[in-house]
């Protein structure tokens, strides 16, 4: 008698058989549902030759302390072969607080770069060839003024607004669900996102104003199906708002991108991304009437994997990171970013960040990942799983639209937050009781292990320097010009006009981020988080 076969159920709730064959693909029209790379529905990738023509962009997340320190890290990464930047901002900046705000005490420069005025952004990008290096700004609630600062810096580097390339995360709905770095009520948060989409469509057509982040929703507890479903519900909400501004979907959808997570079962993740590309093309064509090929293409960064890293036996995270990079490559991601092995503890050291960068470079140079497009395409298991993932994602989207009353209402009422929090608890419970295996945590644990990880030291003097820079900027600016510019921001916010032109004027006058945020608060008010049991 054979041993009892172990039951396998993926995190998405999908049961897995021991063997798959041609019969499992009955009812799936492979020529229609899979197609060729670079052709609708883009299941196999958005470019005909994929990495054979151009390897993925490597965009490690970086930024800490003072702008000058962050500038040094940027230059270190570029010197070692990184071809794009992903900027981390500290918590006060994310919350629209100046460095001398009492609420910012103890957090200035701790988990990212402190930015108070345009002067800080100018320092951070001093000597950085932003005409050649694509820059991603990981900022949300105050994305509008931070984008305005970057646009002004680009112009002062000699890059016209119409030619500025890069991305802003700028996904406020996921903040209410996953991270909590929100400021304004939901409807006003969405309005600011839409302002940036409209502004970029009309004035900065090469810039990606939104990167919808299933990543943070997944890291907060959502399963892989919900990660895609919630992200697509969010993206559809932004599209509808932009259409209400008089734009056509082909005016801007080409410049919407996604940030997705890569930790978990390798085949589940690959199938997730293949299904997501196919479904996005269908949504844009069938629901919104998009016709441009670029608007139908789901462009993504497969990032992080932080939820899969462990405090225990941290060097194992180097191995995990390599597999996450492999998943990204097999999935057809346009951009890749890895959490470094020490991020379960601290801000990455240069050594840890370099290991992550070298991991991606090894895949390009040594492992054959760029040789052929969609190398797992045609696998009985992968194709069956891709179809099943798509079916379940569609089912979840319909549940949000129907049972939850749409994503905006579901977020405003805290329904999605409750769902994600419940699943985060279940996942942690599985880690604790061992039903979800984790090497070094509940498998092959070493009770008396030594952890050789260098912690990033918080330097209070950095906050003091930030406050000095801030006060110097206030002292050297034209206060009348600042007041006039902030009044224009207030008028645009209150009158329903696009706030971005006024934002550009305000940052050029060296209005502080805190001053701009307070101006918006005086019009919009602040969000109060619903609590659902």
Q: How many CA atoms lie within 13 A of 273 on its CB side?
A: 32
pLDDT in tens, 250-298: 999 999 999 999 999 999 999 999 999 999 999 999 999 999 999 999 9
Residue entry with tokens 């970013």: 337
Share of the chain above pLDDT 90, in %: 88
Once rounded to an integer, what is the mean pLDDT over residues 323-344? 95
Q: Which pLDDT band, with edges at 50, 70 and 90, does 63 fall under?
A: confident
**Burial letters for 399-419: b for 16+ Cβ neighbours within 10 Å, e otherwise?**
ebeeebeebbebbbebbbbeb
pLDDT value, residue 216: 95
Q: What angle do CA 45, 51, 53 make, to 5 degrees?
A: 110
Local structure of 56: helix, strand or coil:
coil
pLDDT value, residue 1: 44
Query: What residue segments make up the domains of the chain, in order of their start?
Result: 22-433
Residue entry with tokens 């305000």: 506
Among the listed residues 118, 164, 169, the one whose alpha carbon sits nearest the alpha carbon of residue 142: 169
pLDDT at 3 over 70: no
pLDDT in tens, 350-374: 899 999 999 999 999 999 999 999 9
Q: 205, 164 in Cβ contact below 8 A?
A: no
E strand residue ranges, 320-374? 335-338
Q: What is the C-alpha separation between 325 and 198, in angstroms, rounded?
A: 34
Q: What are phi and psi of 169, to 5 degrees?
A: -65, -65
Q: Which CATH number is associated with domain 22-433? A: 3.20.20.240
Q: What is the C-alpha separation between 226 and 327, in angstroms, rounded?
A: 19
Local structure of 407: helix, strand or coil:
helix
pLDDT in tens, 469-500: 999 999 999 999 999 999 999 999 999 999 99
pLDDT at 152 over 80: yes
Q: What is the C-alpha separation between 169 and 213, in angstroms, rounded?
A: 8
pLDDT at 399 over 70: yes
pLDDT in tens, 120-134: 999 999 999 999 999
Show contacts of 199-203: CB within 8 Å, 24+ apart. 199/498, 199/500, 199/501, 200/252, 200/255, 201/242, 201/247, 201/251, 201/252, 201/255, 203/161, 203/162
Average pLDDT, the chain: 94
pLDDT value, residue 446: 87
pLDDT at 415 over 50: yes
Cβ-based neighbour number of residue 119 at 10 Å? 18
pLDDT at 142 over 60: yes
Among the listed residues 250, 253, 272, the one whose alpha carbon sits nearest the alpha carbon of residue 261: 272
- Between 111 and 158, the more confident residue is 158
Tokens standing for residue 54? 């151009």
pLDDT at 381 over 70: yes
**What is the C-alpha radius of gyration for the chain, rounded to an integer number of angstroms?**
23
pTM of the full structure:
0.95
Once rounded to an integer, what is the mean pLDDT over residues 399-417? 96
Show the 3-state SS of 417-486: HHHHHHHHHHHHHHHHHCCCCCECCCECCCCCCCCCCCCCCCCHHHHHHHHHHHHHHHHHCCHHHHHHHH
Spatial CB neighbours of 155, under 8 Å, sequence gap ≥ 6: 161
Q: What is the C-alpha separation between 83 and 10, in angstroms, rounded?
A: 35
Cα dihedral angle (450, 453, 459, 463), rounded to 10 degrees? -120
Task: Give how far the C-alpha of residue 311 lies from the chain's centroid of Cα atoms, to the nearest Å.
Answer: 23
Tokens standing for residue 308? 């899969």
Q: What is the C-alpha separation between 474 and 527, in angstroms, rounded?
A: 29
pLDDT in tens, 219-231: 999 999 999 999 9
Tokens standing for residue 183? 């400021």
Q: 116, 132 in Cβ contact below 8 A?
A: no
Once rounded to an integer, what is the mean pLDDT over residues 527-533? 78
Tokens standing for residue 248? 């056509």
Q: 89, 64 in Cβ contact below 8 A?
A: no
Cβ-based neighbour number of residue 271 at 10 Å? 28
pLDDT in tens, 502-513: 999 999 999 999
Once rounded to an integer, what is the mean pLDDT over residues 195-215? 97
């Amino acid at each position: 008698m054979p041993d009892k076969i172990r039951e396998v159920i993926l995190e998405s709730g999908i049961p897995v058989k021991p063997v798959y064959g041609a019969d499992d693909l009955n009812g799936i029209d492979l020529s229609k549902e899979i197609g060729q790379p670079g052709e609708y529905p883009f299941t196999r990738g958005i470019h005909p030759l994929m990495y054979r023509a151009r390897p993925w962009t490597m965009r490690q997340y970086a930024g800490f302390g003072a702008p000058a320190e962050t500038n040094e890290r940027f230059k270190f990464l570029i010197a070692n072969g990184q071809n794009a930047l992903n900027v981390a901002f500290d918590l006060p900046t994310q919350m629209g607080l100046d460095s001398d705000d009492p609420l910012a005490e103890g957090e200035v420069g701790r988990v990212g770069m402190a930015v108070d005025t345009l002067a800080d952004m100018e320092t951070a990008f001093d000597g950085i060839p932003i005409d050649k290096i694509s820059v991603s700004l990981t900022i949300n609630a105050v994305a509008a003024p931070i984008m305005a600062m970057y646009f002004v810096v680009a112009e002062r580097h000699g890059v016209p607004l119409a030619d500025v390339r890069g991305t802003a995360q700028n996904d406020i709905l996921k903040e209410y669900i996953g991270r909590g770095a929100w400021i304004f009520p939901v409807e006003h948060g969405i309005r600011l996102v839409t302002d940036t989409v409209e502004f970029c469509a009309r004035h900065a057509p090469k810039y990606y104003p939104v990167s919808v982040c299933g990543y943070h929703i997944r890291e907060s507890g959502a399963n892989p199906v919900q990660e895609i479903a919630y992200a697509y519900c969010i993206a559809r909400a932004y599209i509808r708002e932009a259409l209400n501004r008089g734009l056509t979907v082909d005016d801007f959808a080409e410049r919407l991108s996604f940030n997705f997570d890569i930790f978990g079962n390798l085949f589940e993740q690959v199938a997730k991304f293949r299904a997501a590309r196919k479904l996005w093309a269908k949504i844009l064509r069938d629901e919104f009437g998009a016709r441009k090929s670029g608007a139908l293409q789901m462009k993504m960064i497969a990032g992080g994997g932080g939820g899969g890293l462990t405090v225990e036996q941290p060097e194992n995270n180097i191995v995990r990171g390599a597999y996450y990079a492999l998943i990204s490559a097999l999935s057809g991601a346009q951009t890749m970013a890895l959490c470094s092995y020490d991020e379960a503890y601290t801000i990455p050291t240069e050594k840890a960040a370099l290991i992550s960068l070298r991991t991606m470079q090894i895949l390009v140079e040594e492992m054959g990942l760029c040789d052929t497009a969609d190398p797992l395409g045609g696998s009985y298991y992968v194709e069956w799983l891709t179809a099943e993932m798509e079916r379940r994602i569609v089912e979840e989207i319909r549940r949000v639209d129907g049972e939850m009353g749409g994503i905006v209402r579901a977020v405003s009422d805290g329904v999605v937050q409750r769902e994600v929090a419940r699943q985060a608890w279940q996942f942690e419970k599985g880690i604790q009781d061992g039903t979800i295996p984790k090497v070094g945590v509940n498998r092959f644990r070493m009770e008396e292990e030594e952890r050789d990880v260098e912690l990033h030291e918080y330097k209070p003097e950095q906050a003091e320097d930030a406050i000095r820079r801030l006060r110097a900027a206030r002292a050297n600016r034209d206060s009348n010009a600042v007041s006039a510019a902030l009044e224009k921001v207030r008028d645009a916010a209150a009158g329903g006009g696009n706030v971005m032109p006024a934002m550009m004027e305000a940052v050029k006058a060296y209005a502080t981020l805190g001053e701009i945020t307070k101006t918006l608060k005086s019009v919009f008010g602040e969000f109060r988080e619903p609590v659902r049991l």
